[in-house]
Structure 1
């Protein structure tokens, strides 16, 4: 748990959100969850859909997702085990829909006008979710964003006191610079105040949904969030402006079926946003880039 200087009730809420991000952000977790969302699958069936993961990588991830209560492991008999969404994992699906909507609006798409030979787009809902989560789960990013949402434009010293109370003032500047580079925070200079950029303000539905899910509340109650529930006009920002290295996931192979487009609806139903389940294209992991917002 990251200590903060925020009010106790806000800190408790924020801590639950950070814990939730820790469950779902690790690489490929979202793809595993959406792979078993349609129906329970045997290990070999999951492995076929994610062939780039070795047994030594997939087994631990399934164990951790099961321990977190997101995946349910069912033994049907000797050497017959299936993995499906637990009730808590099923409740997460509408939250992923909200995250996908934000990513579809604000994340740069790799070569968006260059579909592969089969006509499949190079970005998918799952990729948008994973890349969005990486941005807000990065070191102290979420506490800083919450501080700026609660305070409004603030000095680096005020942000550090809220989001990084156990660190020296100098430690907050690299985090703020990264958020500025990621287009989530704006400033007129390191000595000036910091403020949420339009894409950062547009994270409100994401954090409201994560907060409701983390507290076990229905998403319908999320609009009353104490920090992110304030009404605001939709941002008129230019979208897809991050200039970064290649995405974490390369384009699908030429024989990959077209991916389903992201929908902003928070009402998830099986077969809509993740209707590609059962036919998730095999994607080899991209070589890690040396920098950029897709860490």
Structure 2
């Protein structure tokens, strides 16, 4: 467990969350999980659903997800083998739903021409892609500890932030991940170098609430009681709202209790484009 300057109970919680993110972070992991969300499938059915994933990647990925306790492999006397989500894997679905919701609202989309209206509209993005892109922002080492430290401290200098998020490492080690989070518009910095969460960063609350509850084996109905990411009173923005990066898009996920997601056929490969809020600034962040 990475050492932090946070209380032991919060540090342990943070460690479980970061480990969960590392388990989900490898590319295509959430795609495989979503492919199995409806029912167990034979290997060839999974391969057909994910045709771009060669056997050399798919087979070991299924094995690793099984080792992680998220996927079950069942072999029948007829030599039929089915892969399906374990109980633990099914409990993860509403967590993935919270991650997809944040991505659908905050990650930038390419604009395409609607043949019906003739207007430019956001291009549809698969929910699994929303999940993968969101996880890519918060899974890198030190990203989540810094975000948690800023949630606790509010406006913070780099020195104070390093003491909270990575006390055993040299001060200069805080700058690369902090700068990356700023580039991804999850953190904003002023001219003095003080940092705080952006609106998009604060809106990660439902994501971290859900991950924390799942990682600790608690019901998601208790997720909003999180000691760090519990709902807070609205605060004025520190700077104009920005899109969230390497993959950005639109504002605010309301901080409400996490509800179980109901997956329907097509959820893996389709995604309804979120409506842009009136008066929203044009997207300026990096596209996918």
CA contact (8 A) 2:198 2:241 kept: no
Q: Structure 1 unaligned segments of length 5 or more: list them.
A: 247-263, 282-291
Aligned length, in residue pairs: 261
CA 1:62–1:200 in structure 2 vs 1: closer, same or farther (change >3 Å)? same
The answer to whether 1:269 aligns with 2:255 is no
Name the SS of the counterpart of 2:89 in structure 1. Answer: helix
**How many Å separate the matches in 1 of 2:214 and 2:286?**
26
CA contact (8 A) 2:107 2:247 kept: no
CA contact (8 A) 1:106 1:239 kept: no
**How many Å separate the matches in 1 of 2:211 and 2:16?**
9
Q: Report the counterpart of residue 153 of structure 1 in structure 2.
A: 155
CA contact (8 A) 2:126 2:269 kept: no
Deviation at 1:159, TM superposition (A): 1.0
Deviation by residue 1:39-83 (Cα, 9 ceiling, x = unmatched): 000111000111111111011110111111111111113531110
Give me the CA root mean square deviation: 2.8
Deviates more, 1:141-150 or 1:96-105: 96-105
Q: Report the counterpart of residue 214 of structure 1 in structure 2.
A: 215
In the TM superposition, 1:14-25 aligns within 5 A as: 14-25=14-25
The answer to whether 1:64 aligns with 2:85 is no
CA 1:63–1:104 in structure 2 vs 1: closer, same or farther (change >3 Å)? same
Deviation at 1:116, TM superposition (A): 9.4
Q: Report the counterpart of residue 128 of structure 1 in structure 2.
A: 130
Q: Report the counterpart of residue 113 of structure 1 in structure 2.
A: 112
Name the SS of the counterpart of 2:112 in structure 1. Answer: coil
CA contact (8 A) 1:105 1:239 kept: no
CA contact (8 A) 1:24 1:30 kept: yes
CA 1:197–1:240 in structure 2 vs 1: closer, same or farther (change >3 Å)? closer
Deviation at 1:138, TM superposition (A): 1.6
CA 1:102–1:18 in structure 2 vs 1: closer, same or farther (change >3 Å)? same
Q: Structure 2 unaligned segments of length 5 or more: list them.
A: 249-256, 271-284
Select 1:241's aligned residue among 237, 240, 243: 243
CA contact (8 A) 1:134 1:294 kept: no
Name the SS of the counterpart of 1:186 in structure 2. Answer: strand
CA contact (8 A) 1:199 1:235 kept: no
Q: Report the counterpart of residue 163 of structure 1 in structure 2.
A: 165
